[in-house]
């Protein structure tokens, strides 16, 4: 018998997600090799047990990109 997938809550948005909808480890997120993304306050404050949903990852990536773009426009 297959066990049902346990839902988890994203520590950013708090929404209940299935295990295939989340990133569950800072090391996995670290594989992005994007130091600006990794240094984001939300990402850098993740514990080893926190999970973050894919939608929140996309929002954070966009914010980091927008911040970099606006910083580059001032140079």
Domain residue ranges in the chain: 8-73
pTM, full prediction: 0.76
- Contact of 47 with 41, CB cutoff 8 Å: no
Mean pLDDT across the chain: 82
Centre a 10 Å sphere on the Cβ of residue 56 and count the other Cβ atoms it contains: 21
What is the 8-class DSSP label of residue 56?
Answer: H
Q: Render pLDDT for 35-71 as a digit per residue (tens, 0 to 9).
A: 888 888 988 888 888 888 889 999 999 999 999 999 8
């Amino acid at each position: 018998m297959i066990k049902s997938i346990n839902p988890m809550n994203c520590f950013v948005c708090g929404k209940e997600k299935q295990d295939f909808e989340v990133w569950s480890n800072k090391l996995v997120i670290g594989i992005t090799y994007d130091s600006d993304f990794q240094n984001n306050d939300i990402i850098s404050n993740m514990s080893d047990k926190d999970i973050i949903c894919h939608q929140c990852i996309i929002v954070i990536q966009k914010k980091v990109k927008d911040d970099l773009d606006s910083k580059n426009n001032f140079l």
